[in-house]
Amino acid sequence: MMYSSKVMEKFRDTKNYGKIENADGIGKVGNAKCGDVMWIYLKIEDEKIVDAKFETFGCVAAIATSTTAIDMVLGKSVEEAYHLTNKAVIEALDGLPPEKIHCSVLAEEGIKAAIEDYRKKLATS
């Protein structure tokens, strides 16, 4: 299986790796078939994502798609970030092997889950 140089670069880029204490939104998603698990943490101020981190346990593609999705939503409005697609993540990585497309879907779902968590907390506060 061949990964693009962009996938390998993002896999090695750990600047967004970690946990945000008291995150405004936390999304946890996983794929039982392959065992990948992603946590996405968002810090939101005035409906803008001011910080985002991830913890991913999985393959090269799972880690690369996590950090790419984080890069793509940082500084964006919550609404813009909610519309991030797995296709946009794949394009940003110059493609993924067909058997690794599910990793980009997890990244999209992780961002959405974190935003939904944030919105749920807002509604109940």
20, 26, 34, 37: which is the annotated catalytic residue? 34
Query: d(Cα 24, Cα 44) in Å, to the nearest integer?
Result: 6
Two tokens, residue 103: 């990793």
Q: Catalytic site residue 103?
A: yes
Give the residue carrying structure tokens 């749920």: 120
49, 69, 103, 111: which is the annotated catalytic residue? 103
Within 10 angstroms of residue 94's Cβ, the number of other Cβ atoms is 12
Amino acid at 57: F
Q: Catalytic site residue 34?
A: yes
What residues act catalytically?
34, 103
